Amino acid sequence: MTNTFQNNVWDAETNRQKNRQTDRQTDRPTLTTDTATALVNALVISRIDYCNAVLAGVYGVHMQQLHGVLNAAARLIVRKRKFYSISSTIRDVLHWLPIQQRV
């Protein structure tokens, strides 16, 4: 009886791993571009614009971090990878100001 139980557990674990692999292969983005844009505008851009008076005298290191956040948000919207150049997309497609001009 123990042997059968162990076999059932082993089979269930093997099936779970196989299903997990096929789920990863068929993953599709669940956010539409419009939804991603609305979320980024609500959660990221609005906070940067709201805090721009406080951020006016920020050191360059912190400005680079904000620039990275803005780039990551843009990549999320246009679905590009981390090392894809995004600055022209920010300017031409999303019509966002660079972080130096925003603050």
Q: Where are the domains of the chain?
A: 33-102
Kindly report, residue by residue over 29-45, the tens digit of the pLDDT. 678 889 989 999 999 99
Q: pTM of the predicted model, to two decimals?
A: 0.67
CA torsion angle 50 87 84 69 (round to 10): -20
Answer yes or no: are the C-beta atoms of 99 and 63 closer than 8 Å. yes
Region 51-72 average pLDDT: 87
To 10 degrees, the CA torsion angle through 29, 72, 36, 34? -100
51 falls in which pLDDT band (50, 70, 90)? confident
* C-alpha to C-alpha distance for 62 and 12, rounded to whole angstroms: 49
CA distances to 1, 4, 19, 67 from 9, rounded to whole Å, are 13, 9, 15, 49
